[in-house]
Copies of this chain bind each other. A is one copy, B any other.
Amino acid sequence: MRSLGHQIVAEFYSCDREILNDVDFVRNAMLEAARKTGATIVTETFHHFSPHGVSGAVIIAESHLAIHTWPEFGYAAVDLFTCGDSVSSEIGFNHLRQELKAGHVSTMELHRGQVDMMGTARDSGAPTELKLAHA
């Protein structure tokens, strides 16, 4: 089934709680995950919540990475959404799993944008190569 995007929905349990509350650490881990994925970083935003928790997103040319942490539960919700054949979100996932010291994880992989659900690209004249590039 051909699709435009690929999304890893990851649940990181039993992480290091101090790390999950360190916005600089989380930000750097996410940016490095994007780089390891082979993605082109476009922009990013991270925020530390009071009393605890970090939320952030990295917009990449190939879609996005997002994270939300609940340090009080040692839990982080991570999404790695990519498109194109030049990136490997699994590498980014493995990097984050290691950096956040996740004790156990569960993942789901989604195929986003099923091509057979769409009209043809006749209006744009877009070549086939563009379908998976998004950049």
Binding site for B on A (CB under 8 A): 4-5, 7, 9, 11, 13-14, 17, 42-45, 47, 49-53, 55-57, 59, 61, 63-64, 66, 68, 70-75, 77, 79, 81, 83, 104, 106, 108, 110, 112-115, 117-119, 121, 123-124, 126, 130-131, 134-135
Contact = CB atoms under 8 A, between A and B. Distances in A.
Contacts of A123: 17, 72
B4 A113 contact: no
Given A14-B119, A17-B124, A49-B134, A63 B55 contact: yes
Nearest to A70: B4
Oligomer: number of copies: 2
B42 A47 contact: yes
Contacts of A7: 9
A113 B77 contact: yes
A104 to B, nearest CB: 8
A131 B73 CA distance: 8
Given A11-B113, A77-B81, A72 B135 contact: no
